[in-house]
């Protein structure tokens, strides 16, 4: 199941771990990896797709391991 969230560019940039200024430059260069629009007031809104696992599609298994010399 995929849900779509509309968020401000500053919030999207934080979520993606990049600076707002970088996201702003990408938007104006047409290189933002998500669809976005600029409102009449200048606010940039980004459509962000969140993939939500569904029990109907199957199960998700996560494995992690931490090794240490201690």
**The pLDDT value given to residue 3:** 66
Q: What CA–CA distance (Å, rounded) separates 58 from 40?
A: 43
Q: What CA–CA distance (Å, rounded) separates 14 from 47?
A: 14
Distance (Å) of CA 44 to CA 2, 17, 34, 58 = 22, 17, 12, 36
**The pLDDT value given to residue 32:** 93
Domain ranges across the chain: 2-51
How many other C-beta atoms lie within 10 A of the C-beta of residue 20? 15
Question: For the segment 1-60, what is each residue's pLDDT rounded down to a tens digit?
Answer: 566 788 999 999 999 999 999 999 999 999 999 999 999 999 999 998 765 555 556 667
């Amino acid at each position: 199941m995929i849900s779509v969230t509309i968020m401000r560019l500053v919030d999207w940039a934080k979520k993606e771990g990049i600076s707002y200024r970088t996201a702003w430059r990408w938007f104006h260069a047409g290189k933002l990896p998500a669809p976005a629009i600029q409102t009449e007031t200048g606010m940039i809104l980004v459509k962000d797709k969140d993939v939500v696992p569904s029990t109907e599609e199957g199960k998700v298994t996560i494995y992690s391991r931490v090794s240490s010399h201690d």
